[in-house]
Structure 1
Amino acid sequence: MNNKYISKRIWLDKDKRGLEDWRHLMEKAGLQTGETLDYTVGIYDDKRLIATGSFAENIIKCVAVCKDYQAENLLTQVLTALIEKMNESGYYHYFLYTKPEKENVFRSLGFKKIIANDDVLFMEQGPDDFSSYLQHLQDNKKAGQGAGIVMNANPFTKGHQYLVEYAAQKNDQVYVFVLSEDHSEFSTKDRVKMVEAGVSHLSNVTVFPTRKYLVSQATFPAYFLKDKAELTVARTQARLDAQIFKEKIAPVLEINVRYVGEEPYSKVTEVYNQAMEEVFSDDLTLVILPRKEVNGSVISATKVRKAIAEQDETLLLDFLPKTTYDYLEKNFR
């Protein structure tokens, strides 16, 4: 790097001037400034911010180089600084959101495309990548036409169980994808165990992790913000997530239908359902089932978590399958 350029961390939550400069560069690059970020690096020409990049966990975001300096190889410097810092944090597999026209640039830096649409390009670099995930799905595929369900199951309720049982009656095979992100009250490990116990009586159901490839901080961070999320951003992310499912995952498992629950509460989840309908079009059927009710009350995991906090045994017994209730009794109470 030219010696007159200085690279340093920008503390967006502490440095008011740094935050203003960063926002200005983001806006000039046409990038969102509302992202959740763990670390941000900036490259300066004297006091002028000329390049920046950030990451959240192992997801590289908000990479921008000032137009006047794009011949200076600053992009490589930014990515090198971010990757070194992620390595220090124990991450060796990285994801990247960028604009579709930047594909060749990032490909030359070792990133591989996962999916792209008119709005965004999603890439990755590192071991245990998307191709290995698809191979894992292929290796565990069962014979026959398949159906897909993606759930957080925080925790697994009778509503989730109803959705799986309904799909299992209508299809040769059902593949249940449980969110791998640890951004919920119950850990990924606990949620997977509750789902596996709750579907164990169904011989044609297989449970898979999503890793970072479905409804994750990489593909769909707005999902975890729920109604705090900006809906235009959520819609873009939801379309990308639906596209990954339709174009990459469904063909491997011969999935021709996906089941979701009706969403009366969360605007972001409603946006996701709408995005799936649009993206799937005539290629993949989306079945939206009305939420299951008990005693006139719609079952939801949110209500269950509230009942756990309030020790409302009546509601827990009404809303939870025995497998989940027993799991919670054994491990959390």
Structure 2
Amino acid sequence: MPQLKRIWLTINPQAAQAWEALLKQAGLTVDRQVNYTLGLFENGELLATGSLFGSIIKAVAVAPTHRAENLLTPIIQGLLDRLDTLQQTHAFVYTKPATSRYFSALGFQNLVQTGQISLLEYGYPDFNDYLSFLRQHKRPGSAAAIVMNADPMTKGHLYLIEQAAQANPTVYVFVLSSQQAFFTAEQRLAMVKQATATLTNVVVLPTRGYLVSPATFPSYFLKDQADLNLAKQQALVDAQLFQYKLAPVLQINQRYVGTEPHSPVTAIYNQVLKATLAPTLKLQIVPRLTCAGQVISASAARRALQTRDFNSLEKLIPPTTINDVKECYDHGN
């Protein structure tokens, strides 16, 4: 009888090696961005595995010689039990399309599926709750959209919003809800709202994990360490979820992005957006705002904060949010 056990990847090299081998046998990329892993063992052999990263179920695999057996159910139930212990009522799962039917049988709902990846969710609040939230903030007529991390909000972000606001009756600005950032999701949302308070046709909204998140686009948060081929596949998941599920609810017909000279992952995302959204939606690529010949970026603002270089910071941050940025940083340190 197989036994379900936790695999401690950081302190058990032998188990970690077996785990990596199983993922490769299943045709999965070895992804160590996990913080809880279970394995189903029989006579010392690892037959199946699954992991959590926050509330995201990932790296789910069954040994090719045991796929006829129902080994996924105890793995997934064990992971859901772990989330229940942590009082997490919602989960995403990132898996291969061929495996998605097993999750559907366990109550997971499909959000989007490409040729290589399926994204499903389980529990509450769910995607329908998010769509209801968006409908409550909908303005009449067509609109444009911007998705940003704003970590922190910079003059470059504000410039992009202003360009969109001048050309569209309504602009929905989605601020990432991920906590994998220098500033919290709540702080970043407040910064963007304050900086755009005078732009009456701008509506600032949280993404709640449904755009550029560890669930929809995990490679985005790995930056220079990201596998660019994998990032391209994940970017397609995110782009299709936006195009087919989110944009129609708010009558979005344009998406605005800034040019990306520094981040290869973000540059790939822009390329995928351009190829995927056409012809349904138009992608507007706006040249990035510069200061003293340098592109204004959130990373430059963070460096200025960390070195207490407030003269440089004031050139990068909107005056409406400069004090809040300082206070948020000081409070967090």
Q: What is the TM-score when the length of structure 1 is the normalising length? A: 0.96
Q: For residue 158 of structure 1, what is the aligned residue in structure 2?
A: 155
1:41, 1:54 within 8 Å by CA — same for their partners in 2? yes
CA distance in 1, matches of 2:323, 2:18: 53
| One-letter code aligned to 2:126 | D
| Inter-CA distance 330–104: structure 2 relative to 1 (3 Å threshold) | closer
1:6, 1:46 within 8 Å by CA — same for their partners in 2? no
| 113, 117, 125: which one aligns with 2:110 | 113
CA distance in 1, matches of 2:193, 2:295: 23
| One-letter code aligned to 1:93 | H
Gaps spanning 5+ residues in structure 2: where?
Answer: none
Instruction: Output aligned runs, 1:287-302, within 5 Å.
Output: 287-302=284-299
Alpha-carbon distance, 1:74 to partner: 1.3
Residue 69 (1) aligns with residue 56 (2)? no
SS of the residue 2:260 aligns to? coil
CA distance in 1, matches of 2:326, 2:39: 49
| 199, 208, 230: which one aligns with 1:233 | 230
Residues 130-161 of structure 1: per-residue CA shift (max 9 Å, x gap): 11101111121001210000000011011000
CA distance in 2, matches of 1:8, 1:101: 25
Residue 261 (1) aligns with residue 258 (2)? yes
| 15, 38, 52: which one aligns with 1:18 | 15
CA distance in 1, matches of 2:246, 2:127: 10
| One-letter code aligned to 2:73 | T
CA distance in 1, matches of 2:280, 2:2: 51
Q: For residue 221 of structure 1, what is the aligned residue in structure 2?
A: 218
Residues 225-273 of structure 1: per-residue CA shift (max 9 Å, x gap): 1111111111111111111111111111111110011111111110111
1:157, 1:320 within 8 Å by CA — same for their partners in 2? yes
CA distance in 2, matches of 1:157, 1:126: 36
Alpha-carbon distance, 1:328 to partner: 2.4
Q: For residue 283 of structure 2, what is the aligned residue in structure 1?
A: 286
| Equivalent residues, number | 330
| 196, 201, 223: which one aligns with 1:204 | 201
Q: For residue 101 of structure 1, what is the aligned residue in structure 2?
A: 98
Q: For residue 242 of structure 1, what is the aligned residue in structure 2?
A: 239
CA distance in 2, matches of 1:317, 1:45: 61
Alpha-carbon distance, 1:102 to partner: 2.4
Residues 95-115 of structure 1: per-residue CA shift (max 9 Å, x gap): 111111223221111000001
CA distance in 2, matches of 1:188, 1:36: 20
CA distance in 1, matches of 2:226, 2:99: 26
| 28, 31, 35: which one aligns with 2:28 | 31
CA distance in 2, matches of 1:331, 1:39: 30
Alpha-carbon distance, 1:331 to partner: 4.2
1:155, 1:324 within 8 Å by CA — same for their partners in 2? no
Alpha-carbon distance, 1:276 to partner: 0.5
| 53, 62, 74: which one aligns with 1:56 | 53
1:95, 1:123 within 8 Å by CA — same for their partners in 2? yes
CA distance in 1, matches of 2:107, 2:237: 22
2:187, 2:328 within 8 Å by CA — same for their partners in 1? no
Q: For residue 42 of structure 2, what is the aligned residue in structure 1?
A: 45
| One-letter code aligned to 1:185 | F
Alpha-carbon distance, 1:330 to partner: 4.3
SS of the residue 1:322 aligns to? coil
Alpha-carbon distance, 1:45 to partner: 1.4
Q: For residue 143 of structure 1, what is the aligned residue in structure 2?
A: 140
Q: For residue 8 of structure 1, what is the aligned residue in structure 2?
A: 5
CA distance in 2, matches of 1:267, 1:328: 27
SS of the residue 1:323 aligns to? coil
> What is the RMSD of the two structures over their aligned residues, measured on CA atoms?
1.2
| Inter-CA distance 120–332: structure 2 relative to 1 (3 Å threshold) | closer
Q: What is the TM-score when the length of structure 2 is the normalising length? A: 0.96
SS of the residue 1:180 aligns to? coil
Residue 78 (1) aligns with residue 86 (2)? no
| 186, 189, 200: which one aligns with 1:192 | 189
Instruction: Output aligned runs, 1:288-327, within 5 Å.
Output: 288-327=285-324
